[in-house]
Amino acid sequence: MPARYSILRLDEDDIAAHLHDDVAQAAKDYLPLWLSISCCLTILSVLASLFTPRTGQLRSRAFTLELANHLYQPNVYIGLERLNDTVLKAALPDRLDIFPHVFAPVSNVEPGRVFPNDGNARVTFNGLVSPGEPHIIIDKNTSMIAQIRVQDYGFARCAIASTIPDPTLLVAQNRTLKLSPNAPPIDIWILDSSSGQLDLKTLSWRNRPARIAHVSTLAVRPNEEMRSAEFDCGTTGLLRTFEFSCTHDACNIEFWQGQPETKPRMAFTFVQMPL
């Protein structure tokens, strides 16, 4: 049939009525095929998202932290500074226990070594699960680098605590602890925090931040919470970096730091206390 000029119809029913029979038939024939293809694609993409480790999320979280580090952090506790000390003290708990968000070994005999930083992380059906249990190693050759952010408002006194449970309680949980009975106290140092959030993927002895001051020594003993000398925490939100070291031959501490809810607790924590 020769094509002839005609005015474009605007009425949908009219257009449908004039659709060529072949086209309408083809659309009907292929409809189930297109439906099943799109169904398959949807199922595949859902499966892919379930089985892919969520590296994208990790990257964006690292980026957010990095960004947060360079931003001005205003005091979010507006007006608390106007409360009188008696009232403030009554409202606050005795202590806040802070688990360092960065806690990694560096070795002076292997200055370029980057220790594995997610030893207990594993890929599961739900993606990468990172239990955040740092491997603590403190000996003649190895120091720990820790980073925290000062929390909350009005907790200006800081100390570092070592909490080591009764070793016999650990055996039942398959948790291991190396702690020589006559180990001398470890040394706590304040490090320079000016270069911001440390990157666990590159942190080594060679590029660790410089020491600024010696805080105090800290004895590590089983069955007891031991504390360092107290120091000023600094303002809320401040990023602070520390080194735990011990240069004596008899130093030998090694364990996996538990999560805050793990009982019995075996950890180095920062204790923030009200003034």
Ligand X SMILES: *[C@@H]1O[C@H](CO)[C@@H](O)[C@H](O)[C@H]1NC(C)=O
Give the footprint of ligand X on this chain (CB under 6 A).
Answer: 84, 86-87, 109, 139-141, 173-174
Shortest CB 148 distance to ligand X, Å: 27
76 vs 87, which CB is nearer to ligand X? 87
Shortest CB 69 distance to ligand X, Å: 33
Nearest-angstrom CA–CA distance, 9 and 1: 20
114 vs 239, which CB is nearer to ligand X? 114
40 vs 87, which CB is nearer to ligand X? 87
Shortest CB 85 distance to ligand X, Å: 6
Please state, in angstroms and as integers, the Cα–Cα distance from residue 189 to each residue in 112, 144, 245, following that order. Answer: 21, 10, 8
Q: What is the largest CA-CA distance in the chain?
A: 104
Shortest CB 88 distance to ligand X, Å: 9
105 vs 134, which CB is nearer to ligand X? 105
37 vs 87, which CB is nearer to ligand X? 87
Burial (CB count within 10 angstroms: exposed 0-12, middle 13-18, buried 19+), residue 261: exposed
Nearest-angstrom CA–CA distance, 86 and 102: 35
Shortest CB 143 distance to ligand X, Å: 12
For 143-171, b/e burial (b = at least 16 CB within 10 A) is: bbbbbbbbebbbbbebbbbbbbbeeeebe
Do 243 and 203 touch, CB atoms closer than 8 A? Answer: no
